[in-house]
A and B are shown apart, each in its own frame.
Chain A
Amino acid sequence: DLTTFSRCVSNLRSLRCQLIVEALSCIVHLALVKHKNLKIMSALSWMLKWSTFSLGWGCAYRSLQTIISWFRLQHYASVDVPSHREIQQALVDIGDKDPSFVGSREWIGAIELSFVLDKLLGVSCKVLNVRSGAELPEKCRELALHFESQGTPIMIGGGVLAYTLLGVDYNEASGDCAFLILDPHYTGNDEHKKIVNGGWCGWKKAVDSKGKNFFLHDKFYNLLLPQRPSMV
């Protein structure tokens, strides 16, 4: 039986099939749907496993764990999903951090994630930098291309928050867009209905119905776009 979340993903997949028609001019690009991956719960569980432990400092680490879990589920990597400590050790090993970093609660960002993905998985990444969150909707076309060609989850770092981007909904005609965000700040139980209904994984518009900006206009953002291996 499909869980609520699986049903959500399945519905999105059906929606994608309906929407990829020229008349509607609306294309939904989803990292997981493209690769027929209904094991989002596995990737989600890794994030949830460490959520309470790293409350207040570990969101970027958890986003990285979700990304690595994705690579495992796609059989691009066989390494275990690293713990926060192992992530920190990797950064020390490559010389980006001092040894005192291990065991700390220091924040990391997209650049550190790129170093760890390279070190532990041999995965290279591209970094998209925008000076302001207001520029992110303009990047939707580029992000859609990423999901079409690479399909990997994207880590967004900016302000003081990390998010994991799983897909974009981009209307070529109107330029309207929405972002499928998996929020690594969730600290509850592994209850998919609660996660979905609470908005911890869901579509976010750049400006919501109340006029509130999802991305901060006075902060820069770095987006980490992992690249799938070109050969096995």
Chain B
Amino acid sequence: MASGGKVSFKVTLTSDPKLPFKVFSVPEAAPFTAVLKFAAEEFKVPPQTSAIITNDGVGINPQQSAEFKGGASIAIVGLKCQGNVFLKHGSELRLIPRDRVGASRMVGAASLLE
């Protein structure tokens, strides 16, 4: 629950089949990078290779000050409105690993399905 200028987020670690989650309370004015960093540290995963998405799968750029956009998925769920990130994305979030891809390889002669 929100209190004293704080807001709570429930973050689930999707890379663990048990889907553990933790609830974090952060000051309203804290940048969202703090949520990502804190969540990653609590789950013992590197923050640099982690990202946060909503339950709907929408990505959140921690560096941006997310402006409220009408029509965005909002899950108040009894929690007090915090501000930008909460208004836009709600309080239920997922921590996922970031993929980094770039290797080159030959696909080889593959056939089209008939």
Interface residues on B, range: 20 to 34
Q: Report if B15 contacts A (CB, 8 A).
A: yes
Cβ–Cβ < 8 Å partners of A169 in chain B: 113
A199 near B99: Cβ-Cβ < 8 Å: no
A222 near B63: Cβ-Cβ < 8 Å: no
Cβ–Cβ < 8 Å partners of B106 in chain A: 185
Cβ–Cβ < 8 Å partners of A157 in chain B: 99-101
Chain A proximity mask over B79-104: 1 for CB below 8 Å, otherwise 0: 00000000000000010111111111
From DSSP, what is the main secondary structure of chain B's interface residues? loop
Q: Report if B78 contacts A (CB, 8 A).
A: no
A185 near B98: Cβ-Cβ < 8 Å: no
What's the minimum C-beta distance from A54 to chain B, rounded to whole angstroms?
8
A198 near B109: Cβ-Cβ < 8 Å: yes
What's the minimum C-beta distance from A121 to chain B, rounded to whole angstroms?
14
Chain A: which residue is nearest B110 at the CB level? A199
Q: Report if A134 contacts B (CB, 8 A).
A: no
Residues on B lying within 8 angstroms of A by beta carbon are: 14-15, 17, 51, 53, 56-59, 61, 63-64, 71, 94, 96-113
What's the minimum C-beta distance from B94 to chain A, rounded to whole angstroms?
7
B98 near A222: Cβ-Cβ < 8 Å: yes
Of residues 158 through 181 on chain A, the ones whose CB sits less than 8 Å from some CB of chain B are 158-162, 169, 178
B101 near A199: Cβ-Cβ < 8 Å: no
From DSSP, what is the main secondary structure of chain A's interface residues? mixed
Cβ–Cβ < 8 Å partners of B17 in chain A: 131
B14 near A129: Cβ-Cβ < 8 Å: yes
22 A-B residue pairs with CB within 8 Å:
A60-B100, A95-B63, A105-B102, A108-B101, A108-B102, A109-B98, A111-B51, A125-B59, A126-B59, A127-B53, A127-B58, A128-B57, A129-B14, A157-B100, A161-B105, A185-B105, A185-B106, A198-B108, A198-B109, A202-B112, A205-B113, A222-B97
Chain A: which residue is nearest B58 at the CB level? A126
Seed contacts A109-B100, A162-B101; 11 additional CB < 8 Å A-B pairs: A55-B104, A96-B63, A105-B102, A107-B100, A109-B99, A114-B59, A127-B96, A159-B101, A186-B107, A202-B112, A222-B96
